Amino acid sequence: MKKYLLITLGFISLGLGVLGILLPLLPTTPFMLLSAFCFYKSSQRLHFWLLNHRVFGKFIRNYKENRAIDPKTKWVTLIILWATIGFSMYLFWHTVYIPILLLVIASLVSWHILSLKTMRE
């Protein structure tokens, strides 16, 4: 039963991580790491699949092993973050608190991303 719960949680977390690629306020990396942990504890096959996935594998391994991301990923992430936050702020320009909240969140996420080590290839 525990194995199936962990596999289910792993796939839910993976789905949220994929959504986090598109939605700037949903964190991608913690969900991907949670998926890797759940799969590690429940299924060697799924864990191997995730760590060797052509899209997600490299990012998970770099983050787990080195707590670092490559320069291209770092800058693309920041550009997408600020573009979507900027668009969201534009949509809510008539309110006072939402743009301020979005600006604070984007600043903190940017600080976190910039504080990560940059992988040298």
One domain, residues 57 and 79: no
One domain, residues 12 and 46: yes
One domain, residues 79 and 54: no
Model confidence pLDDT, tens digit, residues 15-60: 998 888 777 667 777 788 889 999 999 999 999 999 999 988 888 8
- Name beta bridge partners: 69: 118
One domain, residues 6 and 51: yes
Quickly state the pLDDT bin for 109 (edges 50, 70, 90).
Answer: confident
pLDDT of residue 40: 93
Question: What residue numbers bound the domain in which 31 lies?
Answer: 2-66
One domain, residues 24 and 52: yes
H-run or E-run covering 29:
helix 28-42
Model confidence pLDDT, tens digit, residues 92-103: 888 889 999 999
State the Cα–Cα distance between residues 40 and 72, nearest whole angstrom. 28
One domain, residues 14 and 53: yes
The torsion region of residue 67 among left (phi > 0), alpha (psi -120 to 50) and beta comes to: left
